[in-house]
Structure 1
Amino acid sequence: MNGRTDGPEVLEISANAGVVQARQLVRVLAQQCRLSLVEQTKLITAASELARNTLIHGGGGTMTAGLVDERGRHGVRLVFTDQGRGIEDTDLAMTDGWTSGSGMGLGLSGSKRLVDDFVLDTAPGQGTTVTITKWGR
């Protein structure tokens, strides 16, 4: 990356095709960041779960994705945003093993374990934004 920060790309997630496109874009960015195959798989898995949550629970939204360069570290940052109903009980939603009954069963807590940085911003009736970052080694 040589100190450059590529501008973020915004991808609409309004159908299953958007989830597939999100996975493809994340794979490209993870390879550009030179993440190991294991780290790529973790990031793509987390992105897939969060994109599906954006579609199913948020009624659709966006994924903003880009390479980041902070404090000498290179990584991939993804921001999933929806204008859905929000998460009423974030403690419950972040509990291991809790599921709403759909998706891969990883949930938010599983996605959090797969990445290095995880920020959840939500409120009932106000939508949800999840920001994740995976740093290269």
Structure 2
Amino acid sequence: MNDHGADSAPTETVTVVRNADVVAARQLVRTLAQQAGLSLVHQTKLVTAASELGRNMLLYGHGGVIRVRVTAKDSRTGVWVEFRDEGPGIENVELALTDGWTSGGGMGLGLSGARRLVDEFDLQTGPQGTTVSVIKWNR
């Protein structure tokens, strides 16, 4: 996924090692979504996706880094968010993206739900970790 506008907007970073860090990242995502002019509905969708992905990163990837920036493409503005961990990776991506499947005790809506809430979703995983990048565009 192209992170659009990488040279034009500053990137904010949150290191995630505990639940409070996921909360801080979620607040940052909301602030940048407001700055990008996303509607309240789209802000909520992006913040929900960020919360799910941040929580997954903490639980399964043992923490990591979340990077966020306002981005632009053509006449659209949006918010790009990247979740990067150094965990063991996702063994079966297709299965992990299936609604209802969980490797833990959750509802199994984290990855698949987050994918539905955003406009662009890219997942790269391997034994050195997982990176999920998402974009929600202003409509």
Q: What's the TM-score once normalised by structure 1's chain length?
A: 0.92
How much has 1:18 moved relative to structure 2?
A: 0.5
The residue aligned with 2:137 is 135
1:26 is aligned to 2:29: yes
- Correspondence list, 1:2-21, <5 A: 5-21=8-24
1:115 is aligned to 2:106: no
1:57 is aligned to 2:60: yes
Identity %: 57
How much has 1:10 moved relative to structure 2?
A: 1.0
- How many aligned positions are there? 134
| Distance of aligned partners of 1:34 and 1:103 in 2 relative to their CA distance in 1, 3 Å threshold | farther
Equivalent position to 1:40, from 40, 43, 59: 43
In 1, distance between residues paired with 2:8 and 2:105? 36
- Correspondence list, 1:74-113, <5 A: 74-103=77-106, 105-113=108-116
| Distance of aligned partners of 1:71 and 1:102 in 2 relative to their CA distance in 1, 3 Å threshold | farther
In 2, distance between residues paired with 1:37 and 1:67? 16
Contact kept, 8 Å, 1:93 with 1:107, in 2: the verdict is no
Unaligned runs of 5+ in 1: none
Q: Secondary structure in 1 aligned to 2:77?
A: strand
